[in-house]
Amino acid sequence: MAWQDIEGHDAIAARFAAAEVAGRVAGSYLFVGPPGVGKGTFARSLALALVCERPTADLVACRSCRSCIQALAGTHPDIDLVEKPIDRATIPLELLIGSPDQRLREGLCWRLLLRPAIAHRKIAILLDADHLSEEAANCLLKTLEEPPPGAVIILVGTSLQRQLPTIRSRCQTIRFGPLSAATIEHVLSRESQTEGNTSSPAELAAAAAAADGSLQRARLLLSDEVATFRQHLIGLLERQPLPGVELSRETLAVVEAAGKEAPLRDFD
Ligand SMILES: [Zn+2]
């Protein structure tokens, strides 16, 4: 059984469970790993387990207490989640320390200082940590260095190299690896059962094998739009002589259309 239905990261979950039992959960973590392997999902699940009032095992949320219900609904007052708005290149400063006229009276750093409302601790998750400007990172330093007692702050990024040294040195780094094709296939098949997906087992296996360890990429490969384009592209590539103009025109059209859509997030 995977920890809280998060597949492929049991060793990390075990490490956190041991830390929780020993009362040694750190105040600041930096999750790094390739896109689409489940770092954001893991961070949310960890937050759920950390605020649960009646864990059913070490760091396993009961999913039925008051804290769990609110956390699952995304309305827990002690779980804070900040991410980069889709239309911004970096995480706006005001999300961390408040707007200019409310400096240090709102924002993630301020909210972390408040007493927990219903749980016994406060949790903050900062997704898109790759997109912290130097100024925003500087605002976080004190919070990362001395989180309020019991508070846990989790930064989620893709690689250690993309984080500023000042951030890296203040957080405990947790590395997430790519998922195995078998794990991806298992998750896809579980999802297709619950969501009534029409993909065949062979299609799921092919997407899992081609996804390079990323569940997010596998889901994308299974989407109708991408599957149709792949089929079409393979058809064009099989032609002799190669229809170069048609190939580039159609590929560009797909790339341009994709560019207009909201970028995929690294949640799942
Ligand atoms: Zn609970």
Question: What CA–CA distance (Å, rounded) separates 213 from 2?
Answer: 17
Residue pair 129/173 in contact by the 8 Å Cβ criterion: no
Task: Enumerate the domain spans of the chain.
Answer: 3-175, 181-260
Q: How confident is the model at residue 11, as a pLDDT?
A: 95
| Nearest in space to 158 (alpha carbons), one of 33, 262, 251, 259 | 33
Per-residue pLDDT of the chain (268 residues; tens, 9 = 90+): 789 999 999 999 999 999 999 999 999 999 999 999 999 999 999 999 999 999 999 999 999 999 999 999 999 999 999 999 999 999 999 999 999 998 888 999 999 999 999 999 999 999 999 999 999 999 999 999 999 999 999 999 999 999 999 999 999 999 999 999 999 999 999 988 888 777 899 999 999 999 999 999 999 988 888 878 888 888 888 888 888 888 888 888 877 877 666 555 544 4
Kindly give the distance from the C-alpha atom of residue 55 to the centroid of ligand 1, in angstroms, as a whole number: 6
Kindly give the distance from the C-alpha atom of residue 180 to the centroid of ligand 1, in angstroms, as a whole number: 30
Q: How confident is the model at residue 153, as a pLDDT?
A: 97
Structure tokens at 34: 């390739």
Q: How confident is the model at residue 87, as a pLDDT?
A: 94
Contacts by residues 111-118 (CB-CB < 8 Å, ≥ 24 positions apart): 111/80, 112/80, 112/143, 112/147, 112/148, 112/151, 112/153, 113/148, 116/77, 116/78, 116/150, 117/77, 117/78, 118/66, 118/67, 118/70, 118/76, 118/77, 118/78
Kindly give the distance from the C-alpha atom of residue 121 to the centroid of ligand 1, in angstroms, as a whole number: 14
Separation of CA 118 from chain center: 25
Question: What CA–CA distance (Å, rounded) separates 163 from 238?
Answer: 43
Kindly give the distance from the C-alpha atom of residue 57 to the centroid of ligand 1, in angstroms, as a whole number: 11
Q: How confident is the model at residue 263, as a pLDDT?
A: 52
Residue pair 210/202 in contact by the 8 Å Cβ criterion: no
Q: CATH assignment of 3-175?
A: 3.40.50.300
Burial of 87 (0-12, 13-18, 19+ CB in 10 A): exposed
Kindly give the distance from the C-alpha atom of residue 36 to the centroid of ligand 1, in angstroms, as a whole number: 27
Structure tokens at 131: 């997109």
Kindly give the distance from the C-alpha atom of residue 268 to the centroid of ligand 1, in angstroms, as a whole number: 22
Kindly give the distance from the C-alpha atom of residue 35 to the centroid of ligand 1, in angstroms, as a whole number: 29
Kindly give the distance from the C-alpha atom of residue 52 to the centroid of ligand 1, in angstroms, as a whole number: 4
Kindly give the distance from the C-alpha atom of residue 56 to the centroid of ligand 1, in angstroms, as a whole number: 8
In residues, how long is the chain? 268
Kindly give the distance from the C-alpha atom of residue 70 to the centroid of ligand 1, in angstroms, as a whole number: 9
Question: What CA–CA distance (Å, rounded) separates 124 from 29?
Answer: 10
Determine the Cα angle at 266 with ends 88 and 230, to 5°: 105
Q: How confident is the model at residue 268, as a pLDDT?
A: 45
Residue pair 211/205 in contact by the 8 Å Cβ criterion: no
Helix residue ranges, H only, 196-243: 201-210, 215-222, 224-237
Residue pair 222/188 in contact by the 8 Å Cβ criterion: yes
